[in-house]
Structures are given as C-alpha cells and as structure tokens.
Amino acid sequence: MTSASAASAGSAAALANGPDPELLWRLYRLMLYVRLVEEKIVALYPEQQMRCPVHLSIGQEAPAAGVAAALRPGDQAMSGHRSHGHYLAMDADLDGMFAEIYGKAPGCARGRGGSMHLIDRAKGFLGAVPIVGSTIPIAAGAAFTSKLRGDGKVTVIYLGDGAAETGVFHETLNFAALKKLPLLFVCENNLYSVYSPMEVRQPLGRPIAGIARAHGVATWEGDGNDAVAVWQMASEAVEACRAGHGPAFLELATYRWREHCGPNFDNDIGYRTVEEYETWRARDPLARHKALLQDRLGADDAAFAALEGELQARIDAAVAKAKAAAFPVDTLSPEDCYA
Amino acid sequence: MTSASAASAGSAAALANGPDPELLWRLYRLMLYVRLVEEKIVALYPEQQMRCPVHLSIGQEAPAAGVAAALRPGDQAMSGHRSHGHYLAMDADLDGMFAEIYGKAPGCARGRGGSMHLIDRAKGFLGAVPIVGSTIPIAAGAAFTSKLRGDGKVTVIYLGDGAAETGVFHETLNFAALKKLPLLFVCENNLYSVYSPMEVRQPLGRPIAGIARAHGVATWEGDGNDAVAVWQMASEAVEACRAGHGPAFLELATYRWREHCGPNFDNDIGYRTVEEYETWRARDPLARHKALLQDRLGADDAAFAALEGELQARIDAAVAKAKAAAFPVDTLSPEDCYA
Amino acid sequence: MPDDAHRSAAVSTRRMTFAQGLLEAQAIALEQDPSVYLMGLGAPDPKGIFGTTSGLLQRFGPERVQDMPLSENAMTGVAVGSAITGMRPILTHQRVDFALVAMEQMVNQAAKWFFMFGGQVPVPLTIRMIVGRGWGQGPQHSQSLQAWFAHVPGLKVVMPATPADAKGLLLSAIEDDNPVICLEHRWLYGLADEVPEGPYRVPLGKARLMHGGGGKAEVTLVGLSYMSLEALRAAEILAEQGIEAEVIDLRSVRPLDEATILDSVARTGRLVVADTAHVRFGAGAEVVSLVVEQAFDKLKAAPVRIGLPDFPTPTSKALSDSYYPRAPHLVAAALKLLGRPVDPELFAVPEGRNLDQPDSSFTGPF
Amino acid sequence: MPDDAHRSAAVSTRRMTFAQGLLEAQAIALEQDPSVYLMGLGAPDPKGIFGTTSGLLQRFGPERVQDMPLSENAMTGVAVGSAITGMRPILTHQRVDFALVAMEQMVNQAAKWFFMFGGQVPVPLTIRMIVGRGWGQGPQHSQSLQAWFAHVPGLKVVMPATPADAKGLLLSAIEDDNPVICLEHRWLYGLADEVPEGPYRVPLGKARLMHGGGGKAEVTLVGLSYMSLEALRAAEILAEQGIEAEVIDLRSVRPLDEATILDSVARTGRLVVADTAHVRFGAGAEVVSLVVEQAFDKLKAAPVRIGLPDFPTPTSKALSDSYYPRAPHLVAAALKLLGRPVDPELFAVPEGRNLDQPDSSFTGPF
Ligand SMILES: Cc1ncc(C[n+]2csc(CCOP(=O)(O)OP(=O)(O)O)c2C)c(N)n1
Ligand SMILES: Cc1ncc(C[n+]2csc(CCOP(=O)(O)OP(=O)(O)O)c2C)c(N)n1
Ligand SMILES: [Mg+2]
Ligand SMILES: [Mg+2]
C-alpha cells in the first residue's frame, strides 16, 4: 500500500536551480489565460445569458498556475465554488466550461451544473462543487484510491480560508495524515469569506497552516501572488506527497479583486477599504510576473502581444461556440440520476 | 461582553501551596463515590432491570474528581456517553441517576433518556448525550451565554480521544478561541474508541492538545490517573477561563478498565493486551490517592472504612429508592415534546 | 382572516417586501427581549442576508447581531447551548443545502432536548433557512427539505408565503419556546404586499384560507410557500373558466392545520397539493394521507400532488423551465379532477417572460 | 417467489442469521471484485459490527477491511471520492443517528454526483446503516430515517427483513453503480432463516409478496423492514379469525415497487402500511398517496398507516412498550377496515414475554 515513486530528475533539478525560461513562460501563460477568460466573463455577464452565479478569481491566478505547473500528467485536482482558475490551469476543456456557463448541451456538465460544477476528468479535474468544504474529503478519497492502488498520482484540493472553518476540513486532515495520503491541500487565504473578514471568523494571530501542522502534516506558507514562489513550494510539496511522506499543505496569501459572486467591483459597499484593495491591486500577480519575464528573459512587448492574441482568439472561439451551441434537450427523466 | 472575575483568593493560595488536607480528602471522596456507584451498577446489571446501555468510567475517576474540585458553585459541565463520573462529581442527584437507569418516574430525565442522558441543572450539570461530539458546541453555547451575560461562570466539556476526531470539535475550538469563551475542554484520552486503538484513527506522535494549541487555545497535558495533578491543571485552566483569557484545554492520559459498554471485563476478546490492562490497573487512581492520604496525612483504615461505609449507605439507599419507585405512566403524547 | 390578528381593521399597514417583513420581525424581537440575538454567516454584512438583517447591526450592536465562522454544525450547537441557558437565538443558514451539515444538531439535539430530558428544559431557538430556486442555482443550492424537518417530532416548521405572514410567523417563531424552523423561499424575498405596523403574531400551526370559501368551490388547492402564490394564480385562471377554487396557504408544515384542510375538502371533495419540493416522499404525501384517512368518503376523486420531478435540479434555464411546476400545472390538475378538457395553450409562456425569474427585476448573480 | 433467484429449487440453503447473511454478501463481494473495500467504525474489531463483518479482516487483510476515525462526514466523503475514482466502497455507520453528521455528503454529493456532472461519473457506493430500536437505546439511538433518504433522487434505499434478502439485497447494492443506502433494523440481526449458498442477487426496487396472493384476500398489509415480520404475524392472527391477508415486504423504499403494491390492493381493496418510523411525513404516506393516486376506485376503505407516535423514542421499558406498534395493532387496523370488532385481548402480552426484546436471547447492554 504505497504510491511512492521518485519525482522526476528533471523536476528535482528545476527545484534546485529555480525555474527555467520555459517554466517562467508557462506560469505567465497560465495566469494570463485564467485572467482573460474571467475578464471575458466580466464583459459578457451583463448580457444576462450566463444565467448562473459566477465566482471570479481575478487577482488570485498565481496559486492555480504555480500548483498546476508542479504537477505531472495523471495528477488530479478538485475545487469549490471559485474554481475557474483551478480548472483552466489543469488544461481542462475551455469550450466545455463556456458552454456550461451558458447552460448549453456541450457543457462540461451538460448544462446541469453551471459555473459552480466544472469537471474534466480526462485532464484530471475531478470536479468542483459549491458546498464549502465538501470536496475536501472527496479529494482525500481520490488520494485514498491512489494509495490503495499505488498509482503514483498526487491529488490537489483547493480551498479558501473560509473552508478552513469547516469541521470536515479538520476530519480530512486527520484522515490524510493517518493514511499518509498523496494529497496536497492548497489554501488560498484571501482574507474574506463572502463579505466577512477574518476577525469575525477565526482567532487572530494563528495561521491556518498551523492547524495542519498540528495534525502532523508538512506545511508551507507563502506569497500567493508570486507564481514562482507558489511553484517552488508546490514542487517541494508534490514531491513529498509523491514520495509517500503523506499529505502536504500550502497556505497562500492572496486577494480577490472583484465581488464575491458576480462580475462587478464591490469596494463601495463597505466591507473592505479601498486602501486595502489598492495595496493588493499593486501586488497583481500578472504584472509582477510580467516584469520578471522582462527583466530576467528580456521578453518584449511583441512576445506578450502574441501570447495575448493567441489566448484571446482561443477564448473568443470558445465563447462563439458556446453561444452557438444548442441548449440541452428538455427530456430529463428520473433515470438520468442513475448510472 | 466580558465574564472576567478574579479567581477567589483561596483557590489562588491553594494553587501556590498545593492541595490542603481537606481538598485531598475531597478528591478521594469524589473518586471513591464514582467508583462505588459504578461497581454497584456492575453488581446489579445482570439482574436485567437496568434496561439500557451503561458506559462505565471505572479506572478513569481522577479527571471528574480533579476538575470538579477546581470549579465553584454555579459553574457548569456537560458530557457524552461516559458521563456518570462527570455527573456525580458535580454533586448531581444520585437518586435521579439510579432512577433514570432503572427507567423510573423520578429519573433525572423522567425515564425518557436512560443512562446516556443524565442531567441535573440545579447542580450545573447541563446534560449529557450519546452522540459523540455533539455536546461540545452545546457547551460552547452555554459558555457563550456566560460571555454575553458576563455571569462569571466557567463551563466544562468532557470529551474522549475519539470525540477529538469529530469535525464539530475543531469547529468549536475555533469558535471558542475566536470569542474567548470561558470553556474548559477536558479530553480523557483512554487510548480507545470502542475497540479501536489510536493507531487506526489518528496519526501517531501528535498530541490532541497540539490541535487545540494550533487554534490558539491554552493547553495542559498530564496524567489523568493522578487526581492532584488533574486538580492542579484544572485549577490553572479554570482560573484562566474565568479571567477572560479564553478557552483552555486539558489532555489527560487515562484508561478504561471494563468493556466499552456494559458491566464486564473484555480483555479476552483481543482488542487490547492483558499486559496493557495490567499496567494501567497498577496505576489505579484510587489506590494511588489512598497511598497519598496515608503517607501525607497519616489516614488510617478506620477513616477509609468510615468514608466507604457512608458512601455505600447513600448508594444503597438510592438503589433501593430507585427499585421501589414507580415506572413513568404510559400517557406520553405529542405535546410532551413541546414546551 | 379571523385567526390573524393583523387583519383586524384597526391596524394600519404599509407595502413592504417579504424580506422587509422578516427584518421587521427580527427588529421587534431584538427590541422587546434582551435575550434575543441573531447569528448567521453574513448577518451583519452590507447585504444583510438579502436585506433581512440590514441595519440591525447598526441598531443593536455587534453582540446582538453576530457573524459566525463557516461552521454550520457547531454554530447550530452553540445556538442550542445558548438557548438552554437562557438566550433566544435566531440562527440563519443561507441555504438549507448548507444546513445539511447541521442536521445532527437540529434533529438529534434541538428537536429532542425538551422531551428527552423529561420536559425540564425548553429550547427557544429559531433557525431561518432559505429554500427553493434562486438564479440558476442548480442541484446544490435550491433544495426544499420541509418534509425532512416535518418528519421530526419536537420541531415546528413554518413556510411563510406573504410579507405579512413572514413578519407575523417569524415573530411567533422567535417567541415560541421550541425550536422553530423557518423556511424562506428565495423567490419570495422581493415580493411586496401590505404589512401591518407594530408587533403582531401569526399563530404557528394555522393554515390560511387565502381565496374562496364561499361554498360553491369545486376544488381545494393547498400550497406550500411560493407554491401558494402559484395556487392563487391558478384559482384566478380557473375562475376565468367558471370554476371556483379554495386556496389554502399551509404556512405551517408542523404542526399541520388538519381542520382547515379537512373543512375545505369537505366542501369541495377535490384536492390538489402543490409543494416546492420533490413529490416523492414529500410533504404533499402527508397532506394527501391525512385527507384520505380522515375524509375518505368526502373525496370525489383521487387527490393530486404537484411538485418537482424525481431528479435533482438542473441549472440550465433550458432544463429548469420545465422542471418547476407553475399555475398552469395546478389548473390542469384541477380541470382533470373535474373531468374537464385541458387546453394546451394554458402552458404558453407570455412574450418576454423568463421562467427562471419571479419577475424581470430579479437578476443574477445570486 | 419467482423474482428471487435464490428461491429456485436448484440452490441449497442453510439456516443462518440476518447478520450472517450480510456477512456473506460482503465476503462474496470482496472475493469477486478487488475494487470492493469495507470501511466503518469497528469494522475490523472483535465484535465485527454485530457479527456482520466478523472474520473479514483475517480473510481479506487490513486494506480491504478498514477501521476509520470517528469522522462520519469526512469518511462518507472519502468513500464518495474513492467511488468516483474506481473503487467500490462499502461504508458502515453503526446507527443512522450518527450518520446525521454525514447527510451533506450523502445527499448533496453522493446522490447528485452522477446527475449534476452530466451523467459521466457513476458513484458505486454502498452505505450500511442501522436503524430501529436496540435495547433501551432511546431518543438518539433508534431512529428510522428511510423517508428522508427516499425523498432524495439519486439514492437507492433498501430495507431487508429476512436473512436471505439481507444477503441478496446487499450484494445487489454493492454491485449497483449508484449510491445505495442499506438500512438494517437492529432487531433483525439475530433472526435466523434459510439462506441460499453462493452468490445471488435480490433485485433492487422489487417488493416481495411474503404471504397470500391466492385471490381471496381481503386486506393488504405492507411492511417495511422489521414491521414486515409483524405483518406476517398479523396475517397469521387474522387467518385464525378466518380473514385472509396478503403481506408485502417492501424491501426497497426507493425505487418503490408500485406494481406489486397496486396489484395486491386491486385484489383486496384495503391497505395497511406498517413502518418502523414516525407516521407523520413518513414512508407510509408515500405508499398511501401512491395507492390513492393510482387505484382510488379500487379502494373499499381509507388506507391506514401504522408506525411510531409523534414524539421521540423514550428509553424506559415502561414507556417504550406502548410506543412500538406490533402485530396486534395491524390486526386491529385490518379488522376495523373490515368493519369487524376488535377484541381487546388481542393486545395481551404472553407471560414471560418482554416487549423490549425481539426474543429472550437478546439482552443488553447494546
Ligand atoms: C457549507 C456552506 N456554507 C456556506 C456557503 C455559502 N458560501 C459560499 S462561498 C462562501 C465563502 C467561502 O469563503 P472561502 O472559503 O474563503 O472562499 P473564497 O470565496 O474566499 O474564495 C460561503 C460562506 C456554502 N456554499 N457552503
Ligand atoms: C457520531 C457518533 N459516532 C459513533 C458513535 C458510536 N460510539 C459511541 S461511543 C464511541 C467511542 C468514543 O470514543 P471516545 O470519545 O474516546 O470515548 P470513550 O468511549 O473512550 O470514553 C463510539 C464510536 C456515536 N455514539 N456517535
Ligand atoms: Mg476566502
Ligand atoms: Mg476513548
């Protein structure tokens, strides 16, 4: 009952030497991709054709990118309500995502789920659901399968700071540590649960990662707006998971720019200050990483423009497809809920 | 919103100087009382007139005694399935307990609950229920009332090592720490949850108290078979709770002598070794404390015999009353579940 | 209605929404009893649980209007614990789907505490939960679990359908010494109607005859929550076809107002029950069983249940439009009971009307 | 019965208990499919969940027969997660009362996963849970929540009443690609009867006509779980009075075998449904509603429901003796339906019989 399998020599070398140019570009590409997809949602949502809630991760792209870049094919991920970035970074089907948000037949959940129910099993994205905390044990179950089968896969579970208040999070930490599951917890601490700040929900001054540590889980804490740092921590954590050392936990500090649910800004309603928002805005993970590419690799505007153009074209095509696609046919029956 | 009220000078002095003779006798008396009540259940259970489950705490008397001795009138306690000792140490009604176990009308829950549903609000014992973990947040709610009202009460919640695996335990730790509730968690770690040893339930090498610490809760760990040590830890913890420093947590190592549920020994069935049992048997909290009374206070056999005689008489009287009492009349109706 | 204090002529009313009715009930309760406090995810936040708690923080302070950690199970236990020690909490879970993690506290503890400890300790606790469809909310954000709660002795369960009842029932719930589950349909929040000023109570356990009762009615339409409004619309459509219907808004699911239902069926001999939940093993089955058991010989035809089909809620508008029953379904059922033909035109959707919105002012993203 | 493979003459049978039947089903499943594993509090312990898992650890090893932390909610999620990635878990919660903490995973996740992700991912998961009275277990250790589970599309729910069905239904459940809830009444475990050797399946969704069916029957008794045995006893008592009854053991609560029930009621015109749960909003209401909706004109009298009264379970024998319905209650109901007098002697308890034990071999402390 072991899933131990040495991390590839390549990734070990990369870990030692820091990311190579290809990886730096990959991180940027992933973040930009997520950003552009969500900005497209922002642009189109007012048309009222996406008739379901959307939880955007604009400003929080680095965790998805850094973690996904530390995985290898076959690895798996699950998420919650704010899952677009996690899904897209696994290279999951963009057409399926837009079609799902538009409620169309080719949607990744056939229109039955909407934006909060993304899935692409072929790419290892096992699913996301909007009950906060619920995918945490389910991802542990997926890792448990890997442990039982020794298939060498690592499973990532993304969660927020709010999710860290659920009992099932604690129960899963205990079980994952007990069974030494190849499970990587990635906690995106964006300071808010809907409009509720940390201080009305958790005692101040104790990190969420400390709870994982108390369960005997290896932890990393760091800047969730720095894709390279995330990739570095995730690479070490994934290697530990894959080596059979048991679960690992990352707590990443980051910030959501737009409203909890929906396409707009909401700094006006008073649950957070404009100063706080501006501080985090200045830590834009994309701008920062772009500067790195310019400084370190001498990337020029043409390169950025080419990348953006390519991604934008892909996104536009997906939206066009989704808009043109048929709605699912209205012949659902009770049989549709049984395999 | 504060419950702060200084610990009495008396208890502070006792803390500094160690327990006085009166307290030492009180601890012994409480433990012996619990032991004798449960041995009486052992003797009578085979008559099949106690027609409900019983979870005995024989061997685990020190936590109940040491904690109760650290409380003051008005303080409160709650417990779970193994609650006899916790109830009795609060000086809760013995007649009501036996009548309840016999299913009689004067039972502390009117015969509706049985052994797993003890209650005596006049003595601060707010209730025990057998769903593992469930009284943890309820006790926190009682402490929350104290916080809101500033009534200076401390509430104790007893739980087992198994209960520490429930999600609601974690959720309550977080809430209690957040609100700085005057709540004392007393975790009796007796190594087993029914017949399941620690190693199939929790990762080895990490204390349960560590989880409480990670939540920012003050913790004490110690010998749960040493009533004086328990009293010492509990006194410090209760003082901290009462002073408004927030919740406190004791993890006490102890051992259940008899079967999980029922009156018998069960070392024969194979879930634990006779050696392990004998080791813990040798750490009998009563024998140990008796030796202390003999050594330190020169207590003689006559004093012990007198105490035992007095308690036994009280217990026999309670049993006789319970046996003679009427059964509740069978006219319950739907109205009986509404106030 | 004679059983509703607030319908008496003396009291002046204003138009307000269902959400405002709930808000007013809570403000009155907080005002009149210092042991009342309010707790829920986002209760003090700027959106105030769809406006149902707006301004209460400012008015009553942070001890009486509390946010809480995302720990529904423990927080329900905390509410129980504070209720048995003298407080009177109002706990809100923003969706019954989330409260599934808190079933243990509600069902094993809150519901049974008074009984299982021999009738010594009341649990004056109100738990508000949102049920029903929002805006494309799909399988995990739109369940209606009234049948579950109603199956549990020790709980009381109310489902207001109008702004006035929202206020009056919630106030009764808060003042009641037992755990009361208040299930609020998401589509009702924006609905406006007359609401009396000041404190008044709508009694728990009393249904309301919303329409008809003149004696010539041929069918009884019983609605739960939002479906009472669809029943009212159905009665209007039936009236256009010359058929008189009595409409009963159940209001309380536990206790169930047997008399009001049986009286009406005794008059009409025909029953249609419309629920916001799955039909199978739903609350409608209890209403039907009750009527059959107590008034079998009054029935002129087999009662009919209307509710959700036997699969989870799909998100896509294309799938949900036909998923949810509405007035025409009740009309068709009534017509069938009367042996009258059903014109398929009945189901036609008016130009510009989106079936996934209660009205056009209701938009995403919630 | 023709629909049960194991009743065919070719198969040899032995007497074994209900618990042993469950044990055998799990042993067969573990033997035939390496993706099957078993998980539950105490599953590998010396008591083996009342003997239903005894010896499996020794035979299949600690990876296939697992204990677990006291974390029912997470462990249900873990089972779901392993089921959607290729395993076929059998999860046991020793009481449905404990599983209340795991409702979220069962209802929001397991039940809906296949549907809500567009029919792509099956969830082959079996959850065994104990329901019903034990020995003085009282309010929090004896609930029967079949109506809840049956209200949830996406779940299947079975309640075996005999050792042979325990084996055959559990094996079907394990082999099914959907989440199946297997509710096992505590009082059935020690019951012994003929059980066929080897693997066989009792189909999910099929009731069993246990008794009668000759055509002269005047009443249909439908039982759920343990109440099927009381129904059988009731049929015997009725036979002594010259009244023939058909007895249907429902076996599956979801899907519900409408045809078997309707066929019988078409013959008898009278229905008594006996459930192990509270009557109000219980599974019996669905059976009654179904029959009324589909066979109204076949009914000669109003159907009757039998089950627990509308308050929680009291522990004291003095209170529980009258709390639980038994055969005489069914007999009395049938007699009333037939307009026949009921002799109060019917309810007399034989000398030496304790109503809080299924038989004298059943003793505490569990
Ligand atoms: C069990 C449960 N309770 C409440 C909610 C409502 N809800 C949806 S998202 C959310 C906030 C979660 O915060 P966090 O985990 O920090 O994620 P973030 O939104 O910040 O990404 C809440 C309370 C829910 N979906 N599920
Ligand atoms: C939620 C829940 N799950 C399972 C059980 C069954 N059960 C009763 S006591 C017990 C063991 C609890 O162990 P622990 O907390 O260590 O207490 P101990 O019995 O050792 O005193 C279990 C599993 C229960 N009562 N409630
Ligand atoms: Mg957050
Ligand atoms: Mg223990």
Q: What is the pLDDT of residue B92?
A: 98
C316 in contact with chain B, both atoms CB, cutoff 8 A: no
For residue D197, the SS3 value is coil
Q: CA-CA distance, D224 to D160, in Å (whole number)?
A: 8
The answer to whether the CB of D9 is under 6 A from ligand 2 is: no
The answer to whether the CB of D69 is under 6 A from ligand 2 is: no
Taking residues C314-325, report their average pLDDT: 96
Residue type, D148: W
D116 in contact with chain A, both atoms CB, cutoff 8 A: yes
Continuous H helices in chain B:
9-17, 21-44, 61-69, 84-89, 94-101, 135-149, 167-179, 208-214, 227-242, 274-281, 285-297, 301-324
Q: Choose, out of C37, C70, C82, C123, the residue to mutate when testing the contact with B (most B CBs < 10 Å).
A: C82
Taking residues C262-281, report their average pLDDT: 98
Q: What is the pLDDT of residue B7?
A: 35
Cα(B193) to centroid of ligand 4, in Å? Answer: 4
Average pLDDT for chain D: 95
Question: Are D138 and B50 within 8 A, CB to CB?
Answer: no
Inform me whether the pLDDT recorded for A118 exceeds 90: yes
**Could you read off the pLDDT of C72-102 as tens digits, one per residue?**
999 999 999 999 999 999 999 999 999 999 9
Contacting residues for B74 by C-beta, under 8 A, at least 6 apart: B124, B151, B152, B153
Question: Are A171 and D69 within 8 A, CB to CB?
Answer: yes
Quick one: angle between helices D72-83 and A167-179, nearest 10? 60
Residue type, B19: P
Q: CB-side exposure of C261: number of CA atoms within 13 Å? A: 32
Question: Are C98 and A133 within 8 A, CB to CB?
Answer: no
**Could you read off the pLDDT of B207-264 as tens digits, one per residue?**
999 999 999 999 999 999 999 999 999 999 999 999 999 999 999 999 999 999 999 9
- Banded model confidence at residue A108, pLDDT cuts 50, 70, 90: very high
Exposed / middle / buried, residue C138 (Cβ in 10 Å: 0-12, 13-18, 19+): buried
User: For D248, left (φ over 0), alpha (ψ -120 to 50), or beta?
Assistant: beta
User: Which residue, D181, D177, D185, D175, is CA-closest to D155?
Assistant: D181
- Banded model confidence at residue C12, pLDDT cuts 50, 70, 90: confident
List the strands of the sheet with B125-128, edge to edge. Answer: B125-128, B76-79, B155-160, B183-189, B248-253, B218-223
Top-tier CATH class for B4-325: alpha beta
Q: What is the pLDDT of residue C215?
A: 79
| Residue whose CB lies within 8 A of the most ligand 1 atoms, among A61, A81, A198, A260, for a mutation test | A81
CATH code of D208-339, in short, is 3.40.50.920
Contacting residues for A84 by C-beta, under 8 A, at least 6 apart: A34, A37, A38, A41, A54, A55, A56, A57, A97, A115, A118
Q: Give the count of beta carbons closer than 10 Å to the beta carbon of residue D104.
A: 27
| Residue whose CB lies within 8 A of the most ligand 2 atoms, among B194, B257, B266, for a mutation test | B194
Closest chain B C-alpha to C71 CA, distance in angstroms: 6
Q: What is the pLDDT of residue D12?
A: 87
CA separation, residue A20 to residues A10, B35, D312 (Å): 11, 70, 67
- Banded model confidence at residue D134, pLDDT cuts 50, 70, 90: confident
The answer to whether the CB of A163 is under 6 A from ligand 1 is: yes
Q: What is the pLDDT of residue C359?
A: 83
Q: What is the pLDDT of residue B4?
A: 31
A230 in contact with chain B, both atoms CB, cutoff 8 A: no
Report which of residues B191 and C4 the model is more confident about. Answer: B191
DSSP letters for B276-331: HHHHHHTT-HHHHHHHHHHHHH---HHHHHHHHHHHHHHHHHHHHHHHHSPPPPS-
- Banded model confidence at residue A5, pLDDT cuts 50, 70, 90: very low
D72 annotated active-site: yes
Q: What is the pLDDT of residue B17?
A: 66
Domain boundaries, chain C: 12-196, 208-339
CA separation, residue B264 to residues B46, B58, B130, B268, D154 (Å): 10, 11, 20, 11, 44
Q: What is the pLDDT of residue D72?
A: 98
CB contact at 8 A, A88 and A123: no
User: Which residue, B69, B79, B27, is CA-closest to B285?
Assistant: B27
C1 in contact with chain B, both atoms CB, cutoff 8 A: no
**Could you read off the pLDDT of B152-210 as tens digits, one per residue?**
999 999 999 999 999 999 999 999 999 999 999 999 999 999 999 999 999 999 999 99
Inform me whether the pLDDT recorded for D263 exceeds 90: yes
User: Which residue, A21, A221, D74, is CA-closest to B171?
Assistant: D74
The answer to whether the CB of D41 is under 6 A from ligand 2 is: yes
Contacting residues for B22 by C-beta, under 8 A, at least 6 apart: none
Q: Among all residues of chain B, which has the CA nearest to that of A168?
A: B167
Report which of residues B221 and C213 the model is more confident about. Answer: B221
State the ipTM, two decimals.
Answer: 0.97
D73 in contact with chain A, both atoms CB, cutoff 8 A: yes
D302 in contact with chain C, both atoms CB, cutoff 8 A: yes
Q: What is the pLDDT of residue C153?
A: 98
Residue nearest to atom 20 of ligand 1 (CA): A193
Q: Which of A166, A200, A214 sits opposite B213 (nearest CB)?
A: A214
pTM across the whole model: 0.97
Inform me whether the pLDDT recorded for C66 exceeds 80: yes
**Could you read off the pLDDT of A120-140 as tens digits, one per residue?**
999 999 999 999 999 999 999
The answer to whether the CB of B193 is under 6 A from ligand 2 is: yes
**Could you read off the pLDDT of D72-116 as tens digits, one per residue?**
999 999 999 999 999 999 999 999 999 999 999 999 999 999 999
Exposed / middle / buried, residue B324 (Cβ in 10 Å: 0-12, 13-18, 19+): exposed
Inform me whether the pLDDT recorded for A157 exceeds 70: yes
The answer to whether the CB of A305 is under 6 A from ligand 1 is: no
Top-tier CATH class for C12-196: alpha beta
CB contact at 8 A, A220 and A249: yes
- Banded model confidence at residue C135, pLDDT cuts 50, 70, 90: confident
The answer to whether the CB of D100 is under 6 A from ligand 2 is: no
Domain boundaries, chain B: 4-325
Question: Are D117 and A109 within 8 A, CB to CB?
Answer: yes
**Residue position matching structure tokens 């009278």:** D270
Inform me whether the pLDDT recorded for C144 exceeds 50: yes
Per-chain residues with Cβ under 5 A from ion ligand 4: B 160-162, 190
Q: What is the pLDDT of residue C11?
A: 72
Q: Which residues of A touch B177 (CB under 8 A)?
A: 203, 206
Question: Longest C-alpha distance within chain A, in Å?
Answer: 59
Number of B to D CB contacts under 8 A, please give it: 147
Number of A to B CB contacts under 8 A, please give it: 62
Neighbours of chain C (3+ CB pairs under 8 A): A, B, D
Taking residues C312-316, report their average pLDDT: 97
C72 annotated active-site: yes
Taking residues A206-212, report their average pLDDT: 98
**Could you read off the pLDDT of D233-258 as tens digits, one per residue?**
999 999 999 999 999 999 999 999 99
Closest chain A C-alpha to B177 CA, distance in angstroms: 6
Q: CA-CA distance, A217 to A213, in Å (whole number)?
A: 5
The answer to whether the CB of B202 is under 6 A from ligand 2 is: no
Cα(A253) to centroid of ligand 3, in Å? Answer: 10
Inform me whether the pLDDT recorded for B285 exceeds 80: yes
Atom of ligand 2 minimally distant from the CA of B159: 15
The two tokens of residue C6 are: 């607030």
Question: Are C109 and B149 within 8 A, CB to CB?
Answer: no
Q: CA-CA distance, B70 to B233, in Å (whole number)?
A: 9
Catalytic option among C6, C24, C72, C175: C72
A168 in contact with chain B, both atoms CB, cutoff 8 A: yes
Average pLDDT for chain B: 95
A112 in contact with chain D, both atoms CB, cutoff 8 A: yes
Q: What is the pLDDT of residue B12?
A: 52
Assess whether the region C12-196 and the region C208-339 belong to the same CATH fold: yes
Question: Are B171 and A165 within 8 A, CB to CB?
Answer: yes
Closest chain C C-alpha to A101 CA, distance in angstroms: 8
Atom of ligand 1 minimally distant from the CA of A159: 15
D352 in contact with chain B, both atoms CB, cutoff 8 A: no
Residue type, A182: P
